[in-house]
Amino acid sequence: MKTIGEKLLNKYRSLPNQGIGFFIFAVLLFWLKTYVTYLAEFNLGISNSMQEFLLFINPLSSAVFFLGLAFLAKETRFYRWLIIINFILSFILYANIVYYRFFSDFITLPTLTQTKNFGDLGGSILELLRWYDVFYFLDTAILAVIIFSKRFSLPQVRAGRLKKGVIFSSAILMFSVNLALAEADRPQLLTRTFDRNYIVKYLGVYNYLIYDAIQSMKSSTQRAFANKSDITTVLNHVQATYAEPNPKYFGVAKGKNVIYIHLESLQNFVINYKLHGEEVTPFLNSLTRDPNTFYFDNFFHQTGQGKTSDAEFMLENSLYGLPQGAVFTTKGQNTYHAAPAILRQYGYTSAVFHGNYKSFWNRDEIYKSFGFDHFFDASYYSMKDEDVLNYGLKDKPFFRESIPLLETLKEPFYAKFITLSNHFPYPIGEEEATIAPATTGDGSVDRYFQTARYLDESLKEFFDYLKESGLYDRSVIILYGDHYGISENHNKAMSQILGKEITPYEHAQLQRVPLFIHVPGVKGGTIHEFGGQIDLLPTLLHLLGIDTKNYVHFGTDLLSPDHQEMVPFRNGDFVTPTVTSVNGKYYDTKTGEPLEETPEIQRLEQIARTKLDLSDKVVYGDLLRFYTPKGFEPVDPSKYDYNNRGGYNNRESKEGSAQ
Say if CB 327 and CB 616 are below 8 A apart. no
Say if CB 548 and CB 339 are below 8 A apart. no
More confident: 244 or 218 = 244
Say if CB 416 and CB 240 are below 8 A apart. no
* pLDDT at res. 211: 84
User: Which pairing describes strands 475-481 and 515-518: parallel, antiparallel, or unpaired?
Assistant: antiparallel
Least confident of 15-24, 246-255, 486-495, 576-585: 15-24
Whether pLDDT at 527 is above 60? yes
* pLDDT at res. 79: 87
* pLDDT at res. 201: 87
Q: Which of 37, 308, 408, 556 is an active site residue? A: 308
* pLDDT at res. 622: 96
| Confidence band, pLDDT 50/70/90 cuts, at residue 150 | low
* pLDDT at res. 72: 87
| Confidence band, pLDDT 50/70/90 cuts, at residue 371 | very high
Say if CB 640 and CB 372 are below 8 A apart. yes
Which domains does the chain possess? 15-219 (no CATH), 226-626 (3.40.720.10)
More confident: 571 or 4 = 571
Say if CB 233 and CB 388 are below 8 A apart. no
Q: Any bridge partners for residue 261, and if so which?
A: 417, 479
First to last CA, the chain: 79
| Confidence band, pLDDT 50/70/90 cuts, at residue 605 | very high
Say if CB 427 and CB 485 are below 8 A apart. no
For residue 294, the SS3 value is strand
Cα separations (Å) of 189 from 7, 62, 433? 44, 18, 48
Alpha carbon distance 561, 549 (integer Å): 15
Say if CB 238 and CB 554 are below 8 A apart. yes
Say if CB 314 and CB 366 are below 8 A apart. no
Least confident of 3-7, 246-250, 361-365, 562-566: 3-7
For residue 155, the SS3 value is coil
Whether pLDDT at 431 is above 70? yes
Whether pLDDT at 107 is above 80? yes
* pLDDT at res. 1: 47
Classify residue 17 by its DSSP letter. Answer: S
Considering only the C-alpha atoms of the chain, give the largest distance between any 2 of them, rounded to a whole number of Å. Answer: 89
The set of residues, in sequence order, having a beta carbon less than 8 Å from that of 447 and lying 6+ positions away, is 425, 426, 427, 428, 437
Whether pLDDT at 118 is above 60? no
* pLDDT at res. 653: 40
* pLDDT at res. 655: 40
* pLDDT at res. 193: 53
The set of residues, in sequence order, having a beta carbon less than 8 Å from that of 240 and lying 6+ positions away, is none
Q: Any bridge partners for residue 579, and if so which?
A: 588
Nearest to 230 by CA among 633, 606, 613, 551: 613
Position 152: which residue type? F
Torsion angles phi and psi, residue 579, rounded to 5: -130, 135
The chain-wide mean pLDDT, for the chain, equals: 89
Mean pLDDT of 8-24: 58
Q: Any bridge partners for residue 293, and if so which?
A: 518
Least confident of 211-220, 262-271, 347-356: 211-220
Whether pLDDT at 329 is above 70? yes
308 is a catalytic site residue: yes
* pLDDT at res. 194: 53
User: SS3 sequence, 219-287?
Assistant: HHHHHHHCCCCHHHHHHHHHHHCCCCCCCCCCCCCCCCEEEEEEECCCCHHHCCCEECCEECCHHHHHH
**Residue 479: how many CA atoms within 13 Å on its side-chain side?**
26
Least confident of 184-188, 375-379, 462-466: 184-188
- Please give the angle made by the CA atoms of 436, 441 and 444, to the nearest 5 degrees: 70
